Amino acid sequence: MNRQAQAAVMFLVGAALLHAGGTNLYLRYVKAGLQPLVLAAGAVLIVSALATAWYEWKRARARKETAAAAEPTAHPEPHAHPEPHAHPEPRISWLLVLPLLALILVAPPALGSYSALRTGTALQQPYGYLKLPKSDPMPLNLVDYAGRAVYDHGRSLAGRQVRIAGFVAVDSAGTPYLVRMALNCCAADAQPVKVGLTGKIPPVLQPDAWLQVTGTYTTKRTHDPVNNGPIPFLQVTEAKPIPTPADPYDETWNN
C-alpha cells in the first residue's frame, strides 16, 4: 500500500471516528465522557491524512519537473541492463478498509444477558451515598439501589418505593435479574451489576428486553455463582417494558 493509499485509509479512520463521536455510536465502544477524545482523534487523523496526501503530491510533482528538465546526454548502450520495474503493492492490504466499513455501516449491539450471566457481579461498596429524592416512587440508578441494599442494608430504602431500569437476564434456574453493564473506560471492560426480581414479576420475560421496575427493598439476597459476589433483590410491584436507552451502559458504578 503506497503513501496515497495509506493517507486514504487514515482519512477513512478519522471520518469513522468523527461519525461515531458525532452520534450515539461511540457509546457502544466507550463511555460518554470520552466523546471529546474520540472527536479529537478523528480530527487529528483527518488532518494527518490530508498533510500526507499533500506532501506526496508535492514530491511527485517535483520528481516530474526534475525528469522533464533533465536532457539525455548519451544514447543508452545496446547491452545495458534495463531498470527493474516497480512491483505493485499487494491488493490484499486493502482488506484493512473492511473493519472501517463495518464501523460505519454496522452498529455493534451492546453487551447483554449472555455476557451478564457469564460474568460475576461487579458491585462494589460506594464511598458514600447521595441524598435521595423525595418523589414517590423515587427514581434510582440500578447500581445505587444495589449498593444501598447490600452495603447500607437498605436503611435509606426502608418504606420507600423505588424505580430502577435495566435489561432482563434469566439464569438456568429461572431466576430473573435486572442488569446494567458498568464500565470504567470502554465496552471491553464492561461488567454487570445485577438485581434479582421477586414479587409481581411479568409472566413472560424476554432476555435482553429493557424493563422499568417499581418496587420496595427486601432483605432477600443471593450470591453470584460466578464470583460469589452479593446480589440484592427488589420486591416488584409494577414492571413495564421501555425502549433501549441511548447509553446502554452505566458509568456511575464507582461513585
Answer with the one of 67, 89, 105 that is the final residue of a domain.
Answer: 105
Q: Mean of the pLDDT values across residues 85-97? A: 59
Of 59-63, 128-132, 169-173, 207-211, give the lowest mean pLDDT range.
59-63
What would the DSSP string read from start to end of 24-82?
A: GGGGGTB-GGGHHHHHHHHHHHHHHHHHHHHHHHHHHHHHHHHHHHPPP-SPPPTTPPP
Q: How confident is the model at residue 27 (pLDDT cuts 50, 70, 90)?
A: low
In this structure, the answer to whether residues 52 and 162 fall within a common structural domain is no
Residue 26 is part of which domain span?
Answer: 3-105
Residue-level pLDDT at 66: 78
Q: Full-prediction pTM beyond 0.85?
A: no
Q: Would you tell me how many other CB atoms lie within 10 Å of the CB of residue 204?
A: 6
Q: Peptide bond before 243: cis, by omega within 30 degrees of 0? A: no
In this structure, the answer to whether residues 128 and 206 fall within a common structural domain is yes
Q: Into how many domains does the chain fold?
A: 2
Whether the per-residue pLDDT at 114 is higher than 90: the answer is no
Provide the percentage of residues in the chain whose pLDDT is more than 90. Answer: 34
92 grid coordinates: 490484499
For residue 255, is it within any domain?
no
Q: Provide the pairing of β-strand 138-139 with 161-170.
A: parallel
Of 49-53, 91-95, 143-147, give the lowest mean pLDDT range.
91-95
Cα–Cα distance list, 53 to 49, 100, 123 (Å): 6, 19, 50
CA pair distance 158, 13, nearest whole angstrom = 52
Query: pLDDT, tens digit, for every residue of 191-218?
Result: 899 999 999 998 888 999 999 999 999 9
Answer with the one of 58, 80, 105 that is the final residue of a domain.
Answer: 105
For residue 186, is it within any domain?
yes
Whether the per-residue pLDDT at 1 is higher than 70: the answer is no
